[in-house]
Structure 1
Amino acid sequence: MSKGFYLYGILTEPLPESIKLEGMDKLQVYSHKIDIFNFLYSEAKQEKYLTSRRNLLCHEKVLEDAMKEGFRTLIPLRFGLAIKTWETVSEQLTIPYKEKLLELFDKLDGRREVSVKVLWNNNSEIQALLASNPTLKEKRDAMEGRAMSMDGVIEIGQMIESGLQARKEEVIDLFRDELNALAEEVIESDTMTEEMIYNAAYLIPWDSESQFGEKVEAIDLKFGDRLRIRYNNFTAPYTFAQLS
């Protein structure tokens, strides 16, 4: 029995019947028009959807498949948005936020989001830092095999941390110098793991992705095995579709 509707995103145009998208619970996705907005939805078989990897990927795939079908401009909705009636959407979203939604559509028109995550190996970077700084290496080596004062240990630790930070900023500055000029907007987010040193999303003209991707590839070649770069060139524009 239906529990209502599960929402994926908002389109500028209705989804044609000829386009078949599979959503949550393997149910077909449709569009429903409220005012001038077209909501991608499927029937909800659950009142609340578990934040599992499978469900998250399904939610994202519906949006990406819509983009592949030619709906380049869409506003993605957060995962797990299940509603019982369309009146709820009108009352809580389209009526109070109509102008802001229109501004988002204008901002995203003809543009796409891509993202870059940069990771390195901390231990390898420490070894490279020590190799390039004989004085620091000598002090660090002196710690091994003999007792040192707490002040001495802290001093060496701070020197290593400062050196790593300088190396990190050198890498990040290169990404900014090479990529930021190609984007209309850049949002840098917190890193998600200890080895991730940079996490950025870029809003770029839709048809300029190949140029952007070539730049990322050139940076990757420049650093070789030192960095692991995760480049996502096709995703719904979550980062740049925030209602302020």
Structure 2
Amino acid sequence: MSFGLYLYGIFPEEVAPPVGVNGLDGQAIASQVVDGFSFLYSEARQEKYLASRRNLLTHEKVLEQTMQAGFYTLLPLRFGLVVKDWESINAQLIKPYKEQLTELFQKLAGQREVSIKILWDTKAELQSMMESNPELKQQRDNMEGKKLSMEEVIQIGQLIESNLLARKQDVIQVFCHELNPLAKEVVESEPMTEEMIYNAAFLIPWDKESVFSDRVEAIDKQFGDRLRIRYNNFTAPYTFAQLAS
């Protein structure tokens, strides 16, 4: 039983479905041109799809395999989008947002999204901070074993926090100084864990990725074991393909 059409992404040109890749529920991938835009889709076998790891990976794989086939410019659609028919798409998406869609495709043409996530060991960083700041360490040590007032607790806590924040900003500044000039746009997002100190996406030219990755590797060597860097150099451009509501 079909519940409509499950949509993966929109392309500015007619797109060939990826070879050897099935969509959600094992359905075949197809493409449909509507008013000049090409939609990648499969038959929906459910009204709503659970955002399970398996389903999310399938959604991503369809888009990534299509990009690897040479269709680099796309607007990825959010997971779980099921529509009744193409008339609904035309009325609800294309007609009200056609100008924005065209502008987004112009912005994304020849560009790719890459992302950087920086993580560190907070305890190790705190220890290193104390060793490099004898005055702060002495102030903290002098308070150990004493009954402190709330004001004193707040004061030493704020001193430690501000010094740790300064070290964090010093690290982030290195990445921004080295990487931002290579990007057309940069979007910084909130860290996803306590250990993550920086989370950003970069829109860069397709042919400059090797330069970008070399720069990331050089920064990684500069900081050594102090940081863990997660670099994703191939993903659909979710961050830079947002339609204004």
User: TM-score, normalization: structure 2?
Assistant: 0.97
- Cα gap change, 1:164 to 1:18, in 2 (>3 Å): closer
In the alignment, which residue of structure 2 is the partner of 1:99? 99
Are the counterparts in 2 of residues 143 and 153 from structure 1 also a CA contact under 8 Å? no
Deviates more, 1:189-198 or 1:229-238: 189-198
Q: Does 1:164 align with 2:158?
A: no
Unmatched segments (≥5 aa) in structure 1: none
The correspondence of residues 74-93 of structure 1 with structure 2, limited to 5 A, is 74-93=74-93
Q: Measure the CA separation in 2 of the matches of 1:213 and 1:105.
A: 25
Q: Measure the CA separation in 2 of the matches of 1:27 and 1:143.
A: 65
Are the counterparts in 1 of residues 17 and 29 from structure 2 also a CA contact under 8 Å? no
Q: Measure the CA separation in 2 of the matches of 1:10 and 1:71.
A: 11
In the alignment, which residue of structure 2 is the partner of 1:229? 229
Deviation at 1:56, TM superposition (A): 1.1
In the alignment, which residue of structure 1 is the partner of 2:196? 196
Alpha-carbon RMSD across the aligned residues, in angstroms, is 1.2
Q: Does 1:212 align with 2:212?
A: yes
Deviation at 1:54, TM superposition (A): 1.2
Deviation at 1:8, TM superposition (A): 0.3
Structure 2 counterpart of 1:37, which letter?
F
Q: Does 1:242 align with 2:242?
A: yes
Q: Measure the CA separation in 2 of the matches of 1:128 and 1:154.
A: 22
Unmatched segments (≥5 aa) in structure 2: none
Give identity over the alignment, percent. 63
Deviates more, 1:141-150 or 1:155-164: 141-150
Q: Measure the CA separation in 2 of the matches of 1:22 and 1:142.
A: 65
CA-to-aligned-CA distance 1:89-118 (integer Å, 9 cap, x gap):
111101111111011111111110000011
- Cα gap change, 1:91 to 1:66, in 2 (>3 Å): same
Q: Does 1:150 align with 2:116?
A: no
SS at match of 2:231: strand
Structure 1 counterpart of 2:216, which letter?
V
SS at match of 1:186: strand
The structure 1 segments of at least 4 consecutive aligned residues displaced by more than 6 Å after TM superposition are: none
SS at match of 1:9: strand
Structure 1 counterpart of 2:168, which letter?
K
Deviation at 1:141, TM superposition (A): 1.6
Deviation at 1:18, TM superposition (A): 7.8
Q: Measure the CA separation in 2 of the matches of 1:33 and 1:20.
A: 21
Structure 2 counterpart of 1:233, which letter?
N
SS at match of 2:31: strand
Are the counterparts in 2 of residues 116 and 200 from structure 1 also a CA contact under 8 Å? yes
In the alignment of these two chains, the number of paired residues is 244
Q: Measure the CA separation in 2 of the matches of 1:146 and 1:105.
A: 63
- Cα gap change, 1:161 to 1:18, in 2 (>3 Å): closer
Deviation at 1:143, TM superposition (A): 2.7
Q: Does 1:69 align with 2:69?
A: yes
